[in-house]
Structure 1
Amino acid sequence: MKPTRRGWFALVVVAAAVGNAVAFGPRALNAVVVPVVVALVVSAIQLRRLSQPRVSRTPVDDGFPDERRTVSLSFDASPAFPARITDSLSEGLAGDSTVETVVGDDPVTYEVEYLHRGRQTLGPTTLVAYDVLGFFSRRFEVSDRTDVLVFPRLRALSTPARRTLARLSHSGVSDERGEFDRLRGYVHGDPLRDIHWKSSAKSDDLMVKAFTDRTDPSAVQVSVGSVEGSEDDVAEAAAAVCCSLLELEIPIELSTPVGTLDAVSGSRRHVLSHLAQLHPGSVPEPSAEVVVRGERAQTTIILSGREFSFEQLREDGGVKASLGGRSASEVVS
């Protein structure tokens, strides 16, 4: 516990009054010093009786860079007291996490922005408590922390790149056609009889009819590695490749310096969570059908022995802002 600026001013007033009392008589002492001393003593006792409050932070959703989330802190404290609350944020997060409030009343909220890919941390929480008159302050630190994953930026691949990826899957064609399933984009090699001309006329791309049991795609191996400092770019490239394959309903076998992961359509969150934690390391499987390799100058994607830069395969505009009318968060929900 230590005096605030107001507290120091009160102490100076007391000291000056005591000096005046010595010089001019005790009447000034009774008139000025006693009320201020009583106020100081009561304020000090009030802060001394406070116990460290318990803090609970509501779960915060994972997300992508540039997205924002609301953080809510609740306190178990009795009696209530005024305080300045500061929630620590790791380097990949930004926000005004310092709030002046009364602890013990309503929850405290603030906005946090996701800046960089990776596992980020909110907390610990620091409380600087004040007495009612603001003469003294007392510091509490609550070690409660919350982790949040910031995924790689989700970028779109060009239509030719997606077609090249589709050809990597070895599909076994059935002699019998099952029930109609859905419409999808045309991929080189699709029978002309499957083209849905009416839908194609309304779209920039050819649309074909897909049937439930026409194909049984085998998994495509994707192996990822990077040098120090290129992890973010590599994670973005790998996310674009993996999510494109999964959107084509092609399962993948992903290997990175972090470990291995098998994924099928509908499990993009697992892939993005894996890539959010990518760290430098060599490509685990150099002979994989898709190799994403990060170097200091650029990120290279190797498709069945052919090398491309990530920029060559990306769709114009880069960031996949519109995903079939869904936000990036909805894509991985």
Structure 2
Amino acid sequence: MRLTRRGYAVCGVVATAIALSIGFGPRSLNAIVIPAVVALAAAILQVRRAPVPAVERTVPNDDVPDTTGTVTLSFDTERSYPATVLDALPLGLDGDAEGETLVGDDPFAYEVTYRKRGEYELGPATIVATDVLGLVERELLAPGTDSVLVFPRVRRLSTAARHDLWSLYDAQISPRREEFDGLREYVRGDSLRDVHWKSTAKRDDLIVKEFVAETDASSVHIAAGAARTASDRMAEAAATICLTFVTSGIPVTLSTPSGVVEATAGDDRQLLEHLARADGGAVPDDAADVVITASEAATRVRYGDSETTFEMLVAETGRANGHFAGGQTGREPTGVTTS
């Protein structure tokens, strides 16, 4: 517990009043000193009784860098009091997390902007309780933290790069396809290469071909590694390429130095969570269908008989739009040209 600037000013007034009372009589003491002393005593008692509140923190959704959201702190306490609140923010997140509120009555909210991929912990909150006159303050630490994930950036690949990557999957499943069995309605996860366009043209829904004894296609295996200082580059390239497959109905198995994650068609959440936390290290499987190797100089991608840089695969627009401010568009059917 300590005096504020205003509290020190009141003490100065009291000292001056006492000095004046010596020369001009005790009436000055009664008129100024006594009310000031009472105010200071009341302030000390009020602040001493201020309880540490329970904090409930509402954080923004996990998202990509440069996304801004609102963090809200609600306080549960038996007695309300004015205070200055400061929520602890780690490097990688930007925001003005300090402000004044009435703890116990009003929530405290501030804007936070994600700057860098990773998992971040917000809190605990420091609460500087004060009295209604602002004479005395006391610092309290409200326990409790919450975390957010900042996903890697997801960029849009060029049309040629997407078709080259999709051909890896087509090469896997083509030998397993048997004779034609019939037609049925499209369901999420079906490959658009199986769309029966003549039947689709007669109906409002997509119609796909079904084959006798068709087995589930295996996933595309992607392996990624990086120098310790280039893990963000690795994560960006891996996220972009993985989402090119899964948002087009193709399952993926991703291996990084931090582990292995499998994603079914249309499910990118596990991939993004894994890549938000992934560290650099050696490529775990050099024989994968797609191998990503990142360094400070460049990020290289090898698939099939081709090897190039990640930047050469990215469309001129660079950034994708959609899911998490960066989802890929759906897979184009064979024979349809896009730009």
Range class of TM-score, shorter chain: 0.7 to 0.9
Deviation at 1:180, TM superposition (A): 4.3
Post-superposition shift, 1:12? 0.5
Q: CA deviation at 1:249?
A: 1.9
Counterpart for residue 119 of structure 1? 119
Answer with 24-33 or 134-143: which moved more: 24-33
Other-structure match for 1:27:
27
The offset of 1:174, in angstroms, is 2.6
**Equivalent position amino acid for 1:211 in 2:** K
Instruction: Please list, as runs of the form range in 1=range in 2, the aligned pairs for 1:1-333 lying within 5 A after superposition.
Output: 1-169=1-169, 170-171=172-173, 172-182=176-186, 210-213=208-211, 216-322=216-322, 328=326
What is the rounded CA distance, in whole Å, between the counterparts of 2:226 and 2:263 in structure 1?
21
SS of the residue corresponding to residue 113 of structure 2 reads: strand
- Judged with a 3 Å threshold, the aligned counterparts in structure 2 of structure 1 residues 227 and 327 are, in CA distance, closer, same or farther, namely closer
How far apart, in 2, do the equivalents of 1:12 and 1:330 lie? 67
Shift of 1:108: 2.0
Q: Secondary structure at the match of 2:88?
A: strand
**Mean Cα deviation higher: 239-248 or 208-217:** 208-217
In structure 1, list runs of 5 or more residues that go unmatched: 200-207
Superposed CA offset, 1:153-193 (max 9, x none): 11111121111111212012231144244599xx9xx69x9
The structural deviation recorded for 1:237 is 0.6
Deviation at 1:111, TM superposition (A): 1.8
Q: Give the gaps of 5 or more residues in structure 2.
A: 330-339
Distance in 1 between residues matched to 2:95 and 2:104, nearest whole Å: 23
Question: Aligned partner of 1:35: which letter?
Answer: P
- TM-score normalised by L of structure 1: 0.87
> How far did residue 84 of structure 1 move?
0.9
Q: 1:71 to 1:161 in 2, by over 3 A?
A: same
- Secondary structure of residue in 1 paired with 2:168: coil
Residues 18-52 of structure 1: per-residue CA shift (max 9 Å, x gap)? 12222333222112111111111111111111121
Please, what TM-score do these two structures have when normalized by structure 2? Answer: 0.86
Percent of paired sites with the same residue: 40
Q: Distance in 1 between matches of 2:32 and 2:196?
A: 95
Assess if the C-alpha contact under 8 Å between 1:63 and 1:329 holds in 2: no
Give the direction of change, closer, same or farther, for the CA distance of 1:197–1:159 in structure 2 (3 Å limit).
Answer: farther
* CA distance, structure 1, for counterparts of residue 178 and residue 231 of structure 2: 41
RMSD: 2.7
Name the amino acid aligned to 2:178: S
Matched residue of 1:287: which SS? coil
Aligned counterparts of 1:329 and 1:62: Cα–Cα separation in 2: 14
Amino acid in structure 1 at the alignment position of 2:11: L
Q: How many pairs are equivalent?
A: 317
CA gap 1:106/1:211 in 2 versus in 1, 3 angstroms: farther
Matched letter for residue 240 of structure 1: T
